[in-house]
Chains A and B, each alone.
Chain A
Amino acid sequence: AAGVIQSPRHLIKEKRETATLKCYPIPRHDTVYWYQQGPGQDPQFLISFYEKMQSDKGSIPDRFSAQQFSDYHSELNMSSLELGDSALYFCASSWRGRLNTEAFFGQGTRLTVV
């Protein structure tokens, strides 16, 4: 079965650079969620989109922005990268229009800022 696809899997950037993370949800899933997991930490909710509109916002820095496109894939844009942005970034998707579907997570993008 198709799963949530995230790209790239690994990314190394320098301080003050920008990064773009991509997420391709499971087919027919209409909701995408972004999480940030620092080393040794639990995942923290950043932002979510439902039917291409932002639906919830968590602890996402102003330097970050995200959107969901017409094909339901989503991109997380991160600018002016800081060392503290080094983390595992997860995308998850769910089918909000249908009950009893939990969120399925991608394998994550490991971002290292040097």
Chain B
Amino acid sequence: AQKVTQAQTEISVVEKEDVTLDCVYETRDTTYYLFWYKQPPSGELVFLIRRNSFDEQNEISGRYSWNFQKSTSSFNFTITASQVVDSAVYFCALSEGGNAGGTSYGKLTFGQGTILTVHP
């Protein structure tokens, strides 16, 4: 069975601080996909990134960066120079590998979420 653990329930920082959100996953599949979603107070789920299990390259997108390490089954998310608008719940999620007829990225197992509050 798949499992995603986000050990940090809540994080509070002051604007411009860097913050790292931890994510540890468990799966028996050799092919899997990892995601981060943001859920702002308005409630929608906003896709941030997808990572394939066979691609361990780290990624940077503006102030966001992701560190994927298969050896420790972790997929951590760092926000550099945080801003008040980054305040949200952040979910790490896992999708299992290919299904017949193509790969389905939509059946996700979510972590419990980390509530990030950035104070001005």
Question: Which residues of A pack against B, CB within 8 Å?
Answer: 31, 33, 35, 41-45, 48, 50, 55-56, 58, 88, 90, 92-94, 96-99, 101-108, 110
B68 to chain A, nearest CB (A): 16
Known A-B contacts A105-B44, A105-B45, A110-B43; A42 and B91 likewise in contact (beta carbons under 8 Å): yes
* B88 within 8 Å of A (CB atoms): no
Count of residues in B whose CB is under 8 Å from the partner chain: 24
Residues of A within 8 Å of B103, CB to CB, are: 96, 99
Instruction: Assess the A31–B104 pair: CB atoms within 8 A.
Output: yes
Bound CA–CA A96/B108 (angstroms) = 14
Instruction: Assess the B110–A104 pair: CB atoms within 8 A.
Output: no
Bound CA–CA A15/B23 (angstroms) = 38
Instruction: Assess the A94–B111 pair: CB atoms within 8 A.
Output: no
Instruction: Assess the A96–B107 pair: CB atoms within 8 A.
Output: no
Residues of B within 8 Å of A96, CB to CB, are: 99, 101-104
Residues of A within 8 Å of B101, CB to CB, are: 50, 96-97
Which B28-75 residues have C-beta < 8 A from chain A?
35, 37, 42-47, 50
* B106 within 8 Å of A (CB atoms): yes
Instruction: Assess the B105–A55 pair: CB atoms within 8 A.
Output: no
Bound CA–CA A19/B103 (angstroms) = 31
Known A-B contacts A43-B45, A102-B47; A56 and B107 likewise in contact (beta carbons under 8 Å): yes
Instruction: Assess the B104–A48 pair: CB atoms within 8 A.
Output: yes
Bound CA–CA A94/B47 (angstroms) = 12
Instruction: Assess the B112–A42 pair: CB atoms within 8 A.
Output: yes
Instruction: Assess the B104–A45 pair: CB atoms within 8 A.
Output: no
Bound CA–CA A17/B44 (angstroms) = 26
A32 to chain B, nearest CB (A): 8
16 interchain pairs, CB-CB under 8 A: A31-B106, A42-B91, A42-B110, A42-B113, A44-B110, A88-B43, A92-B45, A94-B104, A99-B103, A101-B105, A102-B47, A103-B105, A104-B47, A107-B43, A108-B43, A108-B45
Instruction: Assess the B111–A50 pair: CB atoms within 8 A.
Output: no
Task: Tell which of B42, B105, B110 touches A43, judged by Cβ atoms closer than 8 Å.
Answer: B110
Known A-B contacts A33-B107, A45-B107, A97-B101; A105 and B43 likewise in contact (beta carbons under 8 Å): no
